[in-house]
Structure 1
């Protein structure tokens, strides 16, 4: 009887760990630069390691200009450990939006950058979501806080870089 109770508890725990947890991060920032400048900077994948402190390296692996189907990778420091992810652009509308999704990652993700002209500059909407299972899923609330903090810091860094690079600044 005790063995059956233990097996039942184990089955329940195993099922709880399998429940996928979704992390959604969304931030908006206004950068006092023309939309074309902001979009051009963010469309150059080589800049990812400049404005994102935790990106160690990023590169495009496909041929041709940036567009739907463009693929690449990044190596990001996650809690001090290098993590390589591969991604693909799923939608690209120049100077409007860029959607991307992981193709090979420990935790699958998707995200978007949307550009909107506003008085005095550009509003950037950056969204990122993951679906984690197992131990990573159980750590989701902690990871959402950590990554939310990192994304805000990275966007503030982006704003600083772009606003300081203005002619005459």
Structure 2
């Protein structure tokens, strides 16, 4: 297993940041690796909401299913992501800060089968990719004309 964690400060309210992150359909607008996201379950986003997504990879693309497992508006979002060969379990925390929102992420990457042998490498690559993705969210939200 590899653990990936980090944080970024975004000059927007926790409510605004949470709303953008909680609806996975927004992710392609700030994460260039995310190519497609489709809602699989009816109703508003909350515990049990599932998404089908496709992310670009160096070798093409990877399909995944993301399920919301914890949902506390403007505070916390937990999920499980199932991909071929691994599961990713984790949380995103939203904390008010003088500058706006301190967003913290923590993912446990749990490779299965042959991918277990490259678990440490998945952690290294994942840390870089997550940092880039969340910085993309920061840039996306801060360039919007929305006031805090």
Tell me if both proteins adopt one fold, taking TM over 0.5 as the criterion: yes
> Using a 3 Å threshold, how does the CA distance of structure 1 residues 161 and 104 change in structure 2: closer, same or farther?
closer
Structure number with larger C-alpha Rg: 1
Which sections of structure 1, spanning at least 5 residues, go unmatched?
A: 1-21
Runs of 4 or more consecutive aligned structure 1 residues displaced over 4 Å after TM superposition: none
Select the structure that is richer in helix. 1
1:164 to 137, 143, 146: 143
Does the 8 A contact of 1:86 with 1:105 survive in 2? no
Q: For the residues of structure 1 that align with 2:77 and 2:126, how far apart are their CA atoms?
A: 20
Give 2:53's aligned residue.
74
> Using a 3 Å threshold, how does the CA distance of structure 1 residues 105 and 135 change in structure 2: closer, same or farther?
closer
Provide Cα deviations, 1:71-110, integer angstroms capped at 9, x if missing partner.
Answer: 1111112333211111211111111111011356431111
What is the aligned residue count? 147
Q: TM-score, normalised by structure 1?
A: 0.80
Q: TM-score, normalised by structure 2?
A: 0.91
Name the Cα RMSD after superposition: 1.6
Which sections of structure 2, spanning at least 5 residues, go unmatched?
A: none
> Using a 3 Å threshold, how does the CA distance of structure 1 residues 121 and 111 change in structure 2: closer, same or farther?
same
1:118 to 97, 111, 118: 97
Give 1:31's aligned residue.
10
Select the structure that is richer in strand. 2
